[in-house]
Amino acid sequence: MQNFIIKNNNRLTNVSCSHFPILSLFFIAASFLFTNVVLATEDTRAQAKRIHDRLTGVVPSSTVLDKMEGMLDGTVTDANYPGGTGAIAAAYVAMDNKYFYNATLVNFITPWTNEARSVFPEDMGTEGILNDYTATVIGAVRDEIDFRRILYDNILYKGKTVLAKLGGGTIATYSNDNNEHYKELEERPDLNLKNDLIPESEAVQSTITGLDGGATAGVLTSRAGAKAFFVGGTNRAMFRFTMLNHLCKDMEQVTDVTLPADRIRQDVSRSPGGDSRIFMNGCIGCHTGMDPMTQAFAYYDYTYPTVGGEPVYEDGQLLFNNVGQNDLVTGSRVTEKNQINPDNFKPGFIVEDDSWINYWREGKNSLLGWSSTPLTDNDGKGAGAKSMGQELAYSEQFARCQVEKVFKAVCLRPPSDSNDRDAVDAILTKFKAPFNNPSNTEGYELKRVFAETAVYCKGQ
């Protein structure tokens, strides 16, 4: 009797010739089934790893990967995560990793904090990348608060009170005129922004900075935001980059030459280069919407010292003219920059207070999805940065922009086909609904968007 050796998944089996026809079919079938089970297991594990990679950028430990794999196939349940089991729970396990905060979120947010929109701002050597803008957004994601609040609420995150700094001692306290607190926080060898930032209950901007509570507007009135977008200029930069970073629309994309031009300031020439057609067919399209909204920043500026005639931007601070604090040039609370170059067009609009109006509620930009807000009701008018920030944050476009940005960051591509666009729409709907934070009844938890997106891009 002749024997045959069959290799079955790296196991050698001795088979008698007399039973080979039947046994060979058995072993071939068993081999096929076992191989399929292995492939299915490997595929689930690969999906778990891909979720972790996309959310953290680092390799998961075997313990974490086992847990995520078990959640994906339904064999592991942990009530500490949304739903206890399943793909979303697995994504939240991945987001426990400190590099979701230290790397993924920092790289995601940093381009919003500088005009170059760079992950590595030019002054990183002197000030560090982390600042009160990035920390506030990271804290909002971590604490699963209504993400819209970053544009209008009295909120600002910093490091916990006592944290050891590199080289000994404790990190510097928050300062209105430098970034040392965040630079030393960033340099900590055991930095973990998941644990190192104060809780939401303590993230009160007016308490931290001393700015009047009514003048706070989330990251718009952070020191880093002011340094980037209130410095010099006319404060239009703050509005333009807020639109670009948080509504995903630059001025050229929202230009509308059909709206009233009555609030375009004096500093805008009506005949640039001696040709009024340039203004009527170009400049007016941006300024008719931007200038009436930018008026909300009439009382703000970023001031800084000079050394040897050179500006020292790193030592500057946000300025806000409160009631009774008048600018020396304008004689009112309106800062000088809002009334510069009046001779460019004398009949132009003169900014005399911080009242604003959203002309984009009419015309083509009504498609941005403006809605009623607690501070402005439904008329698109208000006063100050807080109410204007809420006007932007409550728009449909703000919510869609967040989802599209996360999709690009996690899936490593913008939405590119009908499946991607359908996924964005579905995630957008979920984003608006309350989810994992029981104290947040409004929804808009951006952490959920990261989880949902990573699950969509995990592969099949």
Averages of pLDDT over each 10 residues, the chain, 460 residues: 39 41 44 42 87 98 98 97 98 98 98 96 87 98 98 98 92 97 96 98 98 98 98 97 98 96 96 92 95 98 96 96 97 97 97 98 97 90 98 98 98 96 98 98 98 93
Token readout for 68 is 């995520």
Token readout for 247 is 């509504």
- pLDDT of 122: 83
pTM of the model: 0.90
Check residue 58 and give left, alpha or beta (phi > 0: left; psi -120 to 50: alpha).
beta
- pLDDT of 6: 36
**Closest to 35 in 3D by CA, of 8, 13, 14, 11:** 8
Q: Give exposure, 282-301, as e/b (b: 16+ Cβ within 10 Å).
A: ebbbbbbbbbbbbbbbbbbb
Which of helix, strand or coil describes residue 197?
strand
- pLDDT of 27: 43
- pLDDT of 124: 79
Predicted confidence (pLDDT) per residue in 281-331, tens digit: 999 999 999 999 999 999 999 999 999 999 999 999 999 999 999 999 999
Q: Give exposure, 314-323, as e/b (b: 16+ Cβ within 10 Å).
A: eebbbbbbee
Q: At what angle do helices 236-246 and 384-393 cross, to 10 degrees?
A: 20
- pLDDT of 11: 37
- pLDDT of 42: 55
- pLDDT of 248: 98
Which of helix, strand or coil describes residue 349?
strand
Task: Look at the alpha carbons of 66, 71, 76, 82 in this order and tell me if their dihedral is positive or negative.
Answer: positive
Q: Where are the domains of the chain?
A: 3-96, 237-392, 398-456
**Closest to 203 in 3D by CA, of 278, 261, 145, 162:** 145
Which of helix, strand or coil describes residue 381?
strand
